[in-house]
Amino acid sequence: MLLDTHQSEIEAIIARYAQKRSAVLPLLYLAQDTYGYLNPAAVREVAAILDLPATDVFEVVGFYTLFYDKPVGTWMLQVCDDLPCCYLGAEELLTALKRTLGIREDQTTADGMFTLQRVKCLAACDRAPVVQANLDYLYDVTAERADLLLANLRARAAEAKQRGLSGRSAEDFVVETDRLSHMSRDAAYQERSFTIEPPPPPTPPAELDSGYDLPQFRRASPL
């Protein structure tokens, strides 16, 4: 039970707010990290700690995209496909990731290592394409660097399990051609140097089978 393992932390969180209910999001993050995902028992537990009807907490879990009510992979890969990422290589990256992992969006690999998601703007548009893995920022992830990224994440699977999904000890990385370099919080801020690359070749027309939104679209009204 959360109260047994994290009692002082929970009390400290609740003490920040004038009303107990405000602690719903932080406690759900805590429960998600502890149990791996928000199963119904975990949600009820949070509701009980905060003296809330369970329905209210289920509603919150359903509303916010960073709460997972089904099991997910060790690494939750969230690829930004919004403007401007989508014009700077995000679609190519998604194609590469899907091919390598053999899954489509919102699926998990058979070994339980990766879940792939498309997400909306991650607010790092100057470092497109941008990916988050368990809320660690990964900048400049072009399609050619997808394999490097996956290999790095696989090697850090144990670390990911220990840190949890909710970014309670998140870090940021720049994905370079041959390695992932760590953007340490305590190091000096470095001004970014630009290498101005030649323009990419024109992209072929998008595959019809992008998988995104399409099944839903096919179910459109008979007219």
Partner 1 sequence: MALSEYIVMRELNHPDINQFAVYRRLGGWDAYATALRERTPAAVVQLVREAGLRGRGGAGFPTGVKWGFLPKGVFPRYLLCNCDESEPGTFNNHQIIDRNPHQLIEGVALSAYAIESNTAYIYMRGEFAAAALTLERAIAEAYQAGFLGRNILGTGYDLDIYVHRGAGAYICGEETALMESLEGKIGQPRLKPPFPAVAGLYGKPTIINNVETLANVPRIVERGVAWYRSYGTEKSPGTKCFSLSGHVNRPGNYELPFGVPLRELIESPEYGGGMRGGRKVKIIIPGGASAPWLTAKHLDVPLDYEGVAAAGSMLGSGAVIVLDETVKAPHVAYKMDEFFKHESCGKCTPCREGTHWLVKVLHRMADEGHGEAGDIETLHGIYRQMAGNCFCLLGESAVMPIKSALQLFPEEFETIIETSSRQHGRGKHVIPLL
Interactions with partner 1, residue window 179-198 (CB under 8 A): 183, 185-186, 188-192, 194, 196-198
Residue with tokens 């707010």: 17
Residue with tokens 């996956």: 150
Instruction: Report in angstroms how near the CB of residue 148 gets to partner 1 at its nearest.
Output: 21
Contacts to partner 1 from residues 152-171, by CB under 8 A: 166-171
Instruction: Report in angstroms how near the CB of residue 18 gets to partner 1 at its nearest.
Output: 5
Applying CB under 8 A, among 8, 110, 158, 199 the residue interacting with partner 1 is: 199
Instruction: Report in angstroms how near the CB of residue 194 gets to partner 1 at its nearest.
Output: 5
Residue with tokens 């760590």: 182
Applying CB under 8 A, among 2, 10, 30, 67 the residue interacting with partner 1 is: 67
Instruction: Report in angstroms how near the CB of residue 110 gets to partner 1 at its nearest.
Output: 27
Half-sphere exposure of 218 (CA within 13 A, CB side): 6
Contacts to partner 1 from residues 118-137, by CB under 8 A: 119-128, 132, 135-137
What is the spatial distance between Cα 76 and Cα 108, in angstroms, rounded to a whole number? Answer: 9
What is the spatial distance between Cα 12 and Cα 14, in angstroms, rounded to a whole number? Answer: 6
Instruction: Report in angstroms how near the CB of residue 211 gets to partner 1 at its nearest.
Output: 12
Contacts to partner 1 from residues 78-117, by CB under 8 A: 82-84, 86-88
Number of CB atoms found within 10 A of residue 71's CB: 12
Residue with tokens 């470092």: 127
In this complex, which beta carbon is closest to partner 1, that of residue 36 or of residue 167?
167
What is the spatial distance between Cα 185 and Cα 188, in angstroms, rounded to a whole number? Answer: 8
Part in contact with partner 1 (CB under 8 A); list of ranges 1-9, 11-19, 143-151, 174-182: 11-19
For residue 35, give every residue at least 6 positions away whose Cβ sits within 8 Å of its Cβ, in sequence order, or none.
Answer: 42
